[in-house]
């Protein structure tokens, strides 16, 4: 038998301990300290963008991106129906209305054709989510945005390290948002980041997240700000995790390859697919059963064999604040939710454990 199999637990080790110890020994554990700017610089360099601003969470990053771009009451923002709720709530925080669009049945990402159908004179922005680390069709999304003069805020919270046309996700739109929550590709415990090439906008976000603190006079706040900063302790963890990012990405891709190889002959089952010019981060490896299936029961049976799983996100249109949908309107999103499953993807697992997951899955279905 194997040790515990992890679904999405973070991979923390000696490097993380050393960085955290340094943060404590120099006495900077809160929002002051050298690691925050070091982390931001390292991240911007990795993405090959002008600037990165760290935040308290991915949700805060998305909120700041919308706020900075001036999205407000009376505006509409196009979002996928299938995503985590935190893609959409920040649209409401700024007073705008989310407009839900169905996803592509193969990639599970917002469908460019559907985006175009939902554009009105009120539309101001699109938020594509690179779901489970899988890059969206950024060529078509950027073309639509250009034609209709819309902002693009990429929800790259799950896709650190993923590429489209050899370029990092989160670097195509006006601003890209990342999350370092405990289960993400890298973690800072809890944290996020906004990145991009518009230095002026990002400088302003840096100012906003710090209570809009003016530099000319003490305790002077010329705008309404937010306390959305990352702490030095979190950034220390982030720096350590950045050193291991490639190791994590290689491992996640390897796990995905094993799942594909071992499950390829399983009938009525398929994987979330990448576009030809895309490279997923495989934050999660996910499958779909193209048949009648009781997903909660399968999860319970897998759990009894030591295999943790999680369901695909419930379409946002199911939640009371967003219950706008007519039956059948988001059919791909609902199909994926009803028939899909996320498999163990934590980099704490070994390849043998992934083989074991495949074996148990095949036995049970």
Ligand X SMILES: Cc1ncc(COP(=O)(O)O)c(C=O)c1O
Cβ closest to ligand X, residue 10 vs residue 269: 10
Longest Cα separation, the chain: 68
263 in Cβ contact with 363 (< 8 Å): no
Cβ closest to ligand X, residue 35 vs residue 84: 84
- How many whole angstroms separate alpha carbon 312 and alpha carbon 287? 9
* Phi/psi of residue 93, nearest 5 degrees: -55, -35
- How far apart are CB 30 and ligand X at their closest, in Å? 19
- How far apart are CB 40 and ligand X at their closest, in Å? 16
Distance between the two ends of the chain, CA-based, in angstroms?
Answer: 21
- How far apart are CB 54 and ligand X at their closest, in Å? 11
Cβ closest to ligand X, residue 236 vs residue 269: 236
- How far apart are CB 180 and ligand X at their closest, in Å? 7
> Which runs of consecutive H residues, i.e. helices, occur in 89-133?
89-93, 112-117
- How far apart are CB 46 and ligand X at their closest, in Å? 18
- How far apart are CB 14 and ligand X at their closest, in Å? 25
Q: In Å, what is the CA distance from 122 to each residue of 90, 96, 125, 129, 197?
A: 17, 10, 9, 21, 26
* Phi/psi of residue 99, nearest 5 degrees: -120, 120
Coil, helix or strand for 135?
A: coil
- How many whole angstroms separate alpha carbon 242 and alpha carbon 14? 14
- How far apart are CB 194 and ligand X at their closest, in Å? 12
Cβ closest to ligand X, residue 113 vs residue 182: 182
Residues contributing to the site for ligand X (CB under 6 A): 57-59, 83-84, 86-87, 129, 155, 157-158, 179, 181, 192
Cβ closest to ligand X, residue 44 vs residue 86: 86
Cβ closest to ligand X, residue 129 vs residue 332: 129
* Phi/psi of residue 168, nearest 5 degrees: -65, 140
Cβ closest to ligand X, residue 238 vs residue 269: 238
- How far apart are CB 152 and ligand X at their closest, in Å? 15
Which tokens go with 16? 């993380």
284 in Cβ contact with 8 (< 8 Å): yes
Residue linked to tokens 């996320």: 342
Which tokens go with 219? 């305790």
Cβ closest to ligand X, residue 158 vs residue 274: 158
In the complex, residue closest to ligand X by CB:
58
- Residues listed for the chain: 365
Which tokens go with 197? 């090439």
């Amino acid at each position: 038998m194997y040790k515990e199999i992890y679904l999405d637990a973070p991979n923390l080790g000696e490097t993380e301990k050393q960085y955290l110890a340094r943060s404590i020994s120099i006495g900077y554990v809160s929002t002051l300290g050298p690691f925050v700017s070091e982390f931001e610089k390292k991240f911007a360099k990795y993405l090959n963008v002008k600037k990165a601003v760290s935040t308290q969470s991915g949700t805060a990053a998305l909120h700041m991106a919308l706020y900075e771009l001036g999205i407000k009451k009376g505006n509409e923002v196009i979002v996928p129906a299938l995503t985590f709720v935190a893609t959409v709530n920040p649209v409401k925080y700024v007073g705008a209305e989310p407009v839900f669009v169905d996803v592509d049945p193969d990639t599970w990402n917002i469908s460019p054709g559907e985006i175009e159908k939902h554009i009105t004179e009120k539309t101001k922005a699109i938020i594509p989510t690179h779901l489970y680390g899988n890059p969206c069709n950024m060529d078509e999304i950027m073309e639509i945005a250009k034609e209709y003069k819309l902002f693009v805020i990429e929800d790259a919270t799950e896709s650190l390290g993923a590429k489209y046309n050899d370029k990092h996700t989160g670097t195509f739109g006006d601003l890209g948002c990342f999350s370092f929550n405990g289960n993400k590709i890298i973690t800072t415990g809890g944290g996020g980041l906004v990145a991009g090439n518009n230095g002026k906008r990002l400088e302003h976000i840096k100012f906003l997240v710090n209570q809009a603190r003016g530099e000319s006079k003490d305790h002077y706040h010329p705008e309404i700000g937010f306390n959305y900063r990352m702490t030095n302790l979190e950034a220390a963890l982030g720096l350590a995790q950045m050193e291991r990012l490639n190791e994590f990405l290689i491992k996640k891709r390897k796990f995905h390859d094993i799942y594909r190889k071992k499950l390829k002959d399983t009938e009525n089952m398929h994987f979330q697919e990448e576009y030809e010019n895309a490279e997923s981060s495989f934050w999660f490896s996910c499958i779909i059963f193209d048949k009648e299936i009781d997903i909660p029961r399968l999860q319970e049976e897998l759990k009894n064999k030591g295999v943790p799983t999680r369901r695909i996100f419930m379409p946002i249109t199911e939640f009371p604040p967003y219950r706008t949908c007519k039956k059948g309107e988001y059919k791909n999103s609902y199909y994926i939710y009803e028939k899909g499953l996320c498999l163990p993807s934590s980099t704490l697992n070994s390849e043998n454990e992934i083989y074991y997951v495949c074996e148990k899955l095949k036995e049970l279905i």
